[in-house]
Amino acid sequence: MLDLILTGLRPLEEELLRIYNTSFEVNHKSDTSPVTQADICSHLELSKILKPFGYPILSEESTENFDRSTTKTFWVIDPLDGTKDFIQQTGEFSIMIGLVRDGIPIFGIVSVPAKQKIYYAEKGKGAYLIKNNGAPLKLEVSTNKTIRNASFITSRNHFANSMQKFTENNKLRLIKCGSNGVKLGFMAEGMADVFFNPTDKMGLWDICAPQIILEESGGTVSDCHGLPIDYLSSNTKIPFGIAASNTILHKVLTDFTKTL
């Protein structure tokens, strides 16, 4: 599975970088969020890459939905996570492909084309990083045991008052960047300790692939109430946002985020 998907991803990465480095049009969806030619191109190509596996696809760039409560295995994809970063040309956008079985993410790939990084994981087999087409490197989260002076990775474009409060109260080192795939990838590399976003606007596609990558590197992902992400819900949005950390710090993190 991994090799087949990686083979298909290479030309898609090249095409997204081609668009990224040219003048492209920016449109807006009904919820006012931006969408570009790259988002649509990536959705169409991923649909082709994943079709041979025979599982239905839940994608941010499609209105097609299905009863996930009765579907044993399905894909959850974000064809271009971090569209604002794509537009701003920060390089912090990603392609995210997750596979869910029995309501649990079991496989994930996050490609960061502008950084020549590919994160991947399979349940029970660890998480890895391929950088600059090199050999896979095994990933492990940080071992920081105290929240004070920890590193908090957060959105470059969405920084709420609650995040500012959390940062100040704990004297955190702040890291701002784009896509959730990039954020949790940094965490899987041990380069950041905690992340949260209490918004109710994020979809299942915003966390599925990076969730299994962080978990297989030793981290924990939940909603901001400390509850598991519900991939079988009829709602594609996550009502209480997302919290992620190295496992040691997760209770401290969610004790705060559940009050938001």
Q: What is the mean pLDDT of residues 60-74?
A: 94
Please give the Cα distance from 89 to 131 (Å, whole number): 20
Note the pLDDT tens digit of each residue in 76-94: 999 999 999 999 999 999 9
In a domain, residue 102? The reply is: yes
Question: Is 90 exceeded by the pLDDT of residue 55?
Answer: yes
One domain, residues 115 and 10: yes
CATH assignment at residue 108:
3.30.540.10
Q: What does the pLDDT read at residue 198?
A: 94
Domain of residue 62 covers 2-138
Question: Is 90 exceeded by the pLDDT of residue 158?
Answer: no
Note the pLDDT tens digit of each residue in 180-203: 999 999 999 999 999 999 999 999
The confidence band for 64, taking pLDDT boundaries of 50, 70 and 90, is: confident
In a domain, residue 31? The reply is: yes
- What angle (nearest 5°) sits at the alpha carbon of residue 49, between those of residues 48 and 51? 60
In a domain, residue 199? The reply is: yes
CATH assignment at residue 194:
3.40.190.80
The confidence band for 128, taking pLDDT boundaries of 50, 70 and 90, is: very high
> Of 104, 138, 172, which closes a domain?
138
Strand positions, DSSP E, the chain: 26-28, 34-36, 57-59, 73-81, 94-101, 104-112, 117-122, 127-131, 137-138, 151-155, 173-177, 194-197, 219-222, 242-246
Question: Is 80 exceeded by the pLDDT of residue 75?
Answer: yes
Question: Is 80 exceeded by the pLDDT of residue 2?
Answer: yes
The confidence band for 53, taking pLDDT boundaries of 50, 70 and 90, is: very high
One domain, residues 133 and 186: no
Please give the Cα distance from 86 to 179 (Å, whole number): 9
How much of the chain, in percent, has pLDDT values that exceed 70? 100
Please give the Cα distance from 82 to 252 (Å, whole number): 28
Answer for the pair 158, 199: CB distance below 8 angstroms, yes or no.
yes
Report how many domains make up the chain: 2
Global pTM value: 0.97
Q: What is the mean pLDDT of residues 19-36?
A: 94
Q: What is the per-residue burial (b if ≥16 Cβ within 10 Å, else e) of 218-237?
A: bbbbbbbebeebebeeeeee
Q: What is the mean pLDDT of residues 102-107?
A: 98
- Cα torsion 159, 236, 180, 224: sign: positive
Q: Under DSSP, is residue 70 helix (H, G, I), strand (E, B) or coil? A: helix
Q: What does the pLDDT read at residue 162?
A: 87
